[in-house]
Structure 1
Amino acid sequence: MAIDATTGSTSALTAATTTSTENPNGVLGKDDFMQLLLTELQYQDPTEPTDTETILTQTSQLASLESADNTNAALEKLTASLGSSQQFSTISAIGKTADLGSDAIAHDKDTETTFEVYFPNDVEQGVVSITDANGQTVKTLDVGTNPAGVYQFTWDGTDSSGNQVDSAIYHVNAEYTDANGDTQQTRLGAYPIESVRFDGDNTYLKVGSNYVSLENIVEVY
């Protein structure tokens, strides 16, 4: 009987080794533990069978493992569901205004710089002011008389005297008179949200003529 028991132990070891070889990452699930338990019972020494309490303890551990696996699976599904729900809730932002948090543009000397400004109200007359880091006005661009909307401007890189300015960060703001004769102000970086696009786990908002990642939006109002 002792010889049989030794043979059984060797077989059990072989089965465990096979499982390890087929699972190179060393990750065991509930099915693997069940297989180990059944192998242990199959090759136990009949003269010294596994204690009943031990079997119950192992079975209880197996049940706990299965419960933990089911909980993890449920949490993964819940996380995916919440992610999708959060994405689609962004659709409610369409029609509102997104603020990118900055009115700055980067300009390179001897080149033209194009930017967009949103005017929430009809414009009777107004100007776009380009200022330097010290708040000094470098150039003004005429807005003209236009209905509310997003308008593109091209700055040739010259100051009010016609000289090319240095490469630097400049700021863009606008002041205009609306159809009621009231003075209004706006700036680069605030645009109406026209649509929402989903690309995998990423969400993009169309502001002006560009799509901007949701993480780059600092405020929606």
Structure 2
Amino acid sequence: MSVEAVNSSTTTTTDSSSNTTLSQLDFLTLLTTQMEYQDPTDPVDNSEMVSQMTQYSMLEQQTSTNDKLDTILSEIQSMSKINSSSYLGQKVSAEGGVAEVSDGEIDSTVTITLSEDAANLGINIYDSDGNIVATNYYEDVSSGTFTIDGDEINASGALTSDGYYTLQAFAYDSNGAEVDVSMESEGTVAAISQEDDGVVFTLEDGREVNLTDVTLLAS
């Protein structure tokens, strides 16, 4: 007897959980049943019935639209990742100042952009452990974009060990007010991933940059 009771309960639970959503036919069936068993002295208002049907129809259309949009978004993301796969192993320019020392030589360039004229511009250079190994100073630098090469980056001669070095710039005008300064440098795409905000490249120097924020360099 107890076994039969358990089986009956299990069957009921399974049937209930397997029918958790309402189709349009289910909704109309419920509506018809509601009309059939309504209180004759207090019938359902026609406008309320129409409103219920309209709301259900709109919800069904919205659900269908959302499903289609999710599918389209997924397809676009897949296409973006496939198209961006051609960047793998390629050199790109991306935000951040990074210089690589290989066999004692720096075959890197860094692009600096100043929002306005700077009386003083400084560039701190850090090793892979985050220690400052050198600081380069410039005076009376005009606004705009300019590039420094490997020899200028290592003007102090302190970058002797092979590896990646990070550059951070700071600038001030003649009144001592801070001037906005940004840096870009080249890097090689080592990996590609699909994130919530789009396709992300991981460069060999460790930087992670969005596809939309990089420029492919001529090989």
* Structure number with higher relative contact order (C-alpha < 8 Å, ≥ 6 residues apart): 2
Q: What TM-score, normalized to structure 1?
A: 0.43
Q: Rg bigger for which structure? A: 1
Q: What TM-score, normalized to structure 2?
A: 0.44
